[in-house]
Every structure is written in C-alpha cells, then in structure tokens.
A = this chain, B = another copy of it.
C-alpha cells in the first residue's frame, strides 16, 4: 500500500489492517521539499507494525510542480476551498501513475494481490490521477502488464477505500480505527519540525474535515 504520511493514506492503512491483511507500506523519496512527510510515513508504519519500503526516485530532474520545484505553494486565508474545476500548481505530473507502477512491481515480486491507495475524489485538490476512472484504467492496464495477469494465477486489484468519502468521513473513520492523526502530515509546505502552514489547499481541506466531523484537530500549526 502507498503510504505518503498524510491523513488519507494512514487511514487507508488502518482499513487494510482492519480487514486482517498484512500490508507492506511503500513510500517514495522523490525530491519532495518536505522530508518531514517521509518521516511521518515511517512513524505511521512503525506504529502499525508493518514493513516499510522506501523507494528513491528522481522526479526533480523533470520539474513541473510546486511540490518539487522552488515554486511558491499557493496559500489563502479565505474560505474558498479548491474544487475539481482547476488543476493546481502543486500537481506533480503523473505522480500516482508512477507510484502505482512501483506498487505493481512490488506486488508482483512479493505476491501481493491488492494495492491500496488513499485517493479521494470528493474533498481533493483537483488532481486528475485521483479520479475513479483513472484508477479503473490503471487496474485494466496492470492486469495486462504483469506475469500474474498473463498466467491467470491472480490479478492485482487496486483498492481505493476512501475514494467516495468526504474528508470529514475519512477523519471519522480514522478515529474509529485508531489512526493517530497527530502523526500525519497533510501540509504542502510544512516547516522543518513538521508543523503545518494552515493555509495551503491541503491544510484547509484537512482542517475543514476535522471541523465537519466534530473532532478536535490535533494538527500542530506553525
């Protein structure tokens, strides 16, 4: 399962464990500007007692995103929360495609039958590769790409347990499953101590999720 260190993937991990599965957590060191995200992923995996594989890849050479470049992360003090109408500059080109491809390789090598990804098509930042139709198309492709798909032994299933949940529902589900929300980092621009800016898209979606769920927000802000 893909583990970013954020609230969604931590909840996704808890869902997989609640089903009695033994997930392998996969994170990427992809030149993201905030190492604290990877540290959060490590904390979450340790706390859950699962194996954590970190794969180093080099997306920085490609450029093109505020999450890896020196572009300023957009922030706002207003109430406007981003919707699917526009794709923000924080979008990393083909990121979920790349991450799922590595997950597919790991699943094939380890004999895993499912890949969990915490994408969400409700309260999301408008990234094209978070939509259900993208995930479905990836699964179709994955079955044709792999040895197991060809040999018909088993074909990997892409699981997206959060895809139709609102952020408030994800917060509620995570609370019920014992997710340590304080360990997770959603902010696109945290400081060195992992404190959230409170003003980027990700922070605002997260804060609204806690508010709507009526659950106290344990996030440490700058």
Contacts and interface: CB of A to CB of B under 8 A. Distances in A.
Copies of the polypeptide in the assembly: 2
Contact of A108 (B58, B64, B150): B64
A100 B138 CA distance: 13
A53 interface: yes
Interface string A81-99: 0000001000111111110
A161 to B, nearest CB: 20
A55 B61 CA distance: 8
Interface stretch (A139-147, A168-176, A192-200, A203-211): A139-147
A142 B133 CA distance: 11
Contacts of A218: none
A56 B30 CA distance: 11
Interface of A: 53, 55-59, 61-64, 87, 91-98, 100-102, 104-106, 108-109, 128-129, 131, 133-134, 137-138, 140-142, 144-147, 149-151
